[in-house]
Amino acid sequence: MKKINVILSILALIVVLASCDSSNNKVKEEKPYEMKKYAKVKLTADITHLSDNQKEMLKLLFEAATIMDDIFWIENVDEKEAFLMGIDDPNLKSYAEINYGPWDELNNLEIFIPGYGAKPAGAQFYPEDMTIEEFEKYNDPNKSSLYTLIRRNTETAKLETVWYHDGFKERTDKAAALLAKASELAEDAGFKKYLNLRSQALLTDEYFNSDIAWLDMKDNLIDMVVGPIENYTDGLFGYKAAHEAYILIKDVEWSNKLSQYAKYLPELQTELPVDIKYKSEVPGSDAQLNAYDVIYYAGDCNMAGKTIAINLPNDEKVQLEKGTRKLQLKNTMKAKFDKILVPISKELIAPDQRKHITFDAFFSNTMFHEVAHGMGIKNTINGGGPVRKALKEKYSAIEEGKADILGLFLVTRLNEMGVFTETDLMDNYVTFMAGIFRSVRFGASSAHGMANMLRFKFFLEKGAFTRDDNGTYSINFEKMKLASNELTEKILVIQGDGNYEAAKAWIESDGKISTQLQQDLDRVNALGIPSDIYFEQGPSVVGL
């Protein structure tokens, strides 16, 4: 009897342990964040060719970039240290740092820290209790400026406009001083001038002259993007630019290879597949294509999904007068290709088309995406002002969709002209399709994710691809080419007309992931393929 009791006790203990293990597994499955969603990448570059002065200058640029990071925390959620102070779990804290807050930026802003509500559509650029109607009735010409905060007066409770250089005065003053000091160490005359003018811009919120100076410099080995730049974080109206910074080392060899394409852009603008009234603008002819290794991301560009290419400046006046610079961030791009795109392709692209997934195609698709941002139309054709303001919070998703699909048109047209022959066009098209699966995982809260949802649905309806019984996808080259032209036309018409209602209706109708596509994405997620990357970065990583 005693032996039976011992056996029963052991069995009971096994049941308890199994129950605990099951409970632990359940907790693990329900954990609202997973660090494995991001692959860690060391962000470095060869700086041995830089002089001692240039290396000292870099240290100052790192400091200034860190200040942009601090400002962005405030714009997105709160002071960084105040927000992170109460988080004890090191993995949870790391996940919060990647997302710059308690909302999962690549999972439709799901809350992963208890105690927080939904993310305000306007982040912290506006009072959280402000209504759209209240804003529209508020009479101030500066309220929709890229560089102002909207605050509520503590005495009158009425809205008031605060310029960034006043709202973040202590930080912008310090960053401006660092840039001015860095300019004294700059060995390239153009970069010296840019740093000086950018320093002044941080103090005045007048960025035009520094944008022009940034485009004028051509031979600098070190580059920096710094200040309030993109308006993705303002999901309420898309008016407000968020602070960020990149520090870059120019890849001279790759930049020289890219430079030959810039001269064809004015001609390509006239060949866009849309009525002439939607392509009558003539972008500045001083467009520049360059490749870089990034050694630091800060602020908006560092939140969750990492930027792999840039097209700047965003100011429509600068673009029409001078053009833009397209920056290909080669080391980050290669990391995403190796760690994310290739593994996704092995799961979702048909075996006979996987050979067409190449880094050169990924690089060129991304490059011409950025080129496309500077083309098309910037101002509505009916006197409705800039497209950015006419489409409000829908602008970013529509603009990213334009850049994606128009970029593919540019690759195709240049190849047909015998100019772009670095890749087989089939490589570009298949890699483009694989890129849809990579970006659609960003979710509806991301402009890039939304743009890819719209394009996937459009391609599906046009027969641009097929899905076989094994759950892999094949593109039909000719149908995809035709669909790309039709989608380009659709987007350019919406932008040129400033048709907010059409953009809104399209996004609400087609900006969803279908059940079938979600099942396919779940297969990708089950394999542990990361959604994006995060960085080990800073002065020590590059040897300073």
Q: pLDDT tens digit string along 459-477?
A: 999 999 999 999 999 999 9
Where residue 2 falls among pLDDT bands split at 50, 70, 90? very low
Give pLDDT, residue 258: 76
Residue 175 included in any domain: no
Rounded to an integer, the average pLDDT of 326-345 is 94
pLDDT digits 0-9 by tens, 481-532 = 999 999 999 999 999 999 999 999 999 999 989 899 999 999 998 999 999 9
Residue 235 included in any domain: no
CA–CA distances in Å: residue 465 to residues 4, 46, 433, 447:
65, 41, 9, 23
Where residue 6 falls among pLDDT bands split at 50, 70, 90? very low
Q: Which residue would you say has higher pLDDT here, 14 or 33?
A: 33
Residue 510 included in any domain: yes
Give pLDDT, residue 257: 77
Where residue 274 falls among pLDDT bands split at 50, 70, 90? very high
Q: Which among 360, 26, 60, 27 is positioned nearest to 195, based on CA atoms?
A: 60
Retrieve residue 70's tokens. 């601090």
Residue 447 included in any domain: yes
First to last CA, the chain: 74
What's the mean pLDDT when you consider all of the chain?
A: 90
In this structure, of 53-57, 182-186, 516-520, the range with the lowest mean pLDDT score is 516-520
Where residue 98 falls among pLDDT bands split at 50, 70, 90? very high
Rounded (10°) CA dihedral 99, 101, 106, 108: 180
Where residue 66 falls among pLDDT bands split at 50, 70, 90? very high
Domains in the chain, number? 1
Residue 345 included in any domain: yes
Residue 21 included in any domain: no
Residue 255 included in any domain: no
Q: Give the residue numbers spanning the domain of 505.
A: 330-544
Rounded to an integer, the average pLDDT of 339-355 is 96
Q: Is the pLDDT of residue 287 over 80?
A: no
Rounded to an integer, the average pLDDT of 165-183 is 98
Residue 131 included in any domain: no
Q: Running DSSP on this structure, what letter comes out for residue 394?
A: G
pTM of the model: 0.83
Instruction: Report how far residue 343's alpha carbon sits from residue 528's, in angstroms, rounded to the nearest whole number.
Output: 10
